[in-house]
Structure 1
């Protein structure tokens, strides 16, 4: 069975609403139809597993013309509803899986709020879908980082630099000791910096650094585009000895990511920009666990989770949930993915991140925290490593900063730790 968990807001009898949800998304509809036999419903019908009231509201959270026509404007309950769907209703088809557990449920007139919270799979069913190419351990091997967080940054300015200017910046960041460097999510195939030209120029600097040091820094090139173009970019990147392709998951979609995964062994760096449209409303959309499960089935290796005390709207608890989900296998084998922390991160947010996550299997990306350090990017990266050492030693950043000027500068520049 495929188990989906929802939050449902309604003033209608919840047992009837849950049964309707199960029927609409499996073998039934709002009325029984010809050919809908008891045997067919037993084999292909979804089953309501549990219903639990978790809250009440005095007025509907969302407008429903269906409810307004019936004068249903008063108090309503919020319910946690768990439904099991037969695996045979899907086979192995990721878009259809998403359609079944979500689909038209958000449009039902009886509900004035609905959120898909979680999707749980049996190990055998999970094994039928794509797995990460590198995952956590493969990413570490590729980047030459055996232990501790992977520290990295984002190319800034994100738009406007020529391929040679981007390559020069990447070369400086490699020399500064960065483990990982990525394009911004809005960097695409710009007329002034086409993807192939960026790849060619940047990988020339990355290979030169490897030839001098023996270490191939992982660079995530944003190849977000239509599917055929992404495949061409991936092939070119692999030919240039690159290791990582970045995609904006929401805009290429589940099938786009899955197709790319089947085409290349490159690590896929999954950026979730736009996800706030699905998750910020408490009673509408798709929760982070369900969202990440679907894209993990598409075969991503890294997933952005935002950052602790960052510039976005997520609470630390929400960021923690996303990161811990990345670090939990979906199936019987190790299919964990690397959580990627970013947005307003610097040396002062690192220790809290490590405590909350309970692991150092993570990417910690600091844009301004590295690029805007008063003594330059190398000092910014050094301040992160010094903050990690302070955490490992069990001492405060202030104590560590007394003997490490670059960390002291970071504390002075970016403010008190989170």
Structure 2
């Protein structure tokens, strides 16, 4: 089995593509800007990055990024590099520094984007990955099949702890499966974390005694490491079944440490993802990026949603969801659950189901539930009815003849 990590890039350069590829390989391993006597052929063979593949795609007459070397032609290519695992060991932060370090700002580079990542068993075997994943999440949420129907507390900021608990009460009345804090709501002065968790869990536990099923609430514990540990422990003590972290805000080390501590599923919010993906000639594709967070121990990963309120295309959203559901390699399934959100209603259910070929997902609608004219419980029922139709191959209009909540929702869902 290979003991090398392989990363694939979309590359643009104003120089000779082969030379630029070698510069990137050197910069990210044993080389520097001048030849050194200590970088022997033996050392380079042992520790240097290798150019595994270079395929020319096309040529353009202007650079995609500022600060590139002056040229009258810029060549675009697919570049694949590999490194021996021994260069960085079983370390996610040092893997990140290797595949996504100083290479983006090289003078020779006028565009660079990570499009693929292949991790060998020699690297992934050091990580346990998600502790709960799809099966554990279904067990704790009490949802054996079909999507996990969820929502986000709205308004995102401004409610008190008791007002938040009242929203949870109304959502449970509609038989919701999953509720999450907004990524902006952590421990603010108007809605302190501890006060919010205690108020919400009183409602959740009381309802669970009556229903025989406990709604899963992802409380946003994002903060310093000690804060996150304390917040997790409070949720666990009060009978909670999920905690949420903002991945880019706390980083790989923060996620890894809280995953080691956690006894609950980790719901991973990708707030800030747009800075990494939105420029086509710079950054990351989602497929390689999400692997790092699954290895770190994240159980749920946001993938945006079809016809979302942001800039991401449907094709990109579906590719992201499929990546989360795919094994990392042949020996590391490390299952995680994709989370669809952003401007979602029941109108996206059928296409979402058809595109990924399963219902192993969390579908969260904020305004699509809270905006229902008949109230929050009706909003929950409408979304659930839309998914019943999607999985049965029926139209929304047909299902609406059996669901008044859905029939009403079709008038305000856009």
TM-score tier by shorter-chain length is over 0.9
| Residue in 2 that maps onto 1:305 | 303
Contact persistence 1:130–1:261 (CA under 8 A): no
Aligned counterparts, 1:268-287, within 5 A: 268-287=266-285
Residue 34 of structure 1: CA displacement? 3.5
Greater CA drift, 23-32 or 100-109? 23-32
Aligned counterparts, 1:224-263, within 5 A: 224-263=222-261
Cα deviation code 1:304-330 (max 9, x no counterpart): 000001111111100001000010111
SS of equivalent residue, structure 1 residue 412: coil
In structure 1, distance between residues paired with 2:161 and 2:402? 39
| Residue in 2 that maps onto 1:400 | 399
TM-score normalised by the chain length of structure 1:
0.95
Greater CA drift, 29-38 or 283-292? 29-38
SS of equivalent residue, structure 2 residue 411: helix
Count of equivalent residues: 410
Residue 56 of structure 1: CA displacement? 2.7
| Residue in 2 that maps onto 1:84 | 82
Equivalent of 1:25 in 22, 25, 28: 28
Residue 269 of structure 1: CA displacement? 0.6
In structure 2, distance between residues paired with 1:131 and 1:374? 42
In structure 2, distance between residues paired with 1:104 and 1:333? 29
SS of equivalent residue, structure 1 residue 160: coil
Cα deviation code 1:253-287 (max 9, x no counterpart): 11111111111121111100111011011110111
| Residue in 2 that maps onto 1:98 | 96
Runs of 4+ in 1 over 3 A off after TM superposition: none
| Residue in 1 that maps onto 2:313 | 315
Cα deviation code 1:79-123 (max 9, x no counterpart): 110001110011111111000001001110001111111211113
SS of equivalent residue, structure 1 residue 413: coil
SS of equivalent residue, structure 2 residue 279: coil
In structure 2, distance between residues paired with 1:196 and 1:56? 57
| Residue in 1 that maps onto 2:53 | 50
| Residue in 2 that maps onto 1:378 | 377
In structure 2, distance between residues paired with 1:333 and 1:47? 25
Question: Would you say 1:139 and 2:142 are equivalent positions?
Answer: no
Which sections of structure 1, spanning at least 5 residues, go unmatched? Answer: none
Alignment root-mean-square deviation, CA: 1.3
Cα deviation code 1:182-235 (max 9, x no counterpart): 000111211111111111111111111111112111100111111221111111
TM-score normalised by the chain length of structure 2:
0.96
| Residue in 2 that maps onto 1:200 | 198
Change (3 A) 1:333 1:290: closer
Residue 74 of structure 1: CA displacement? 2.3
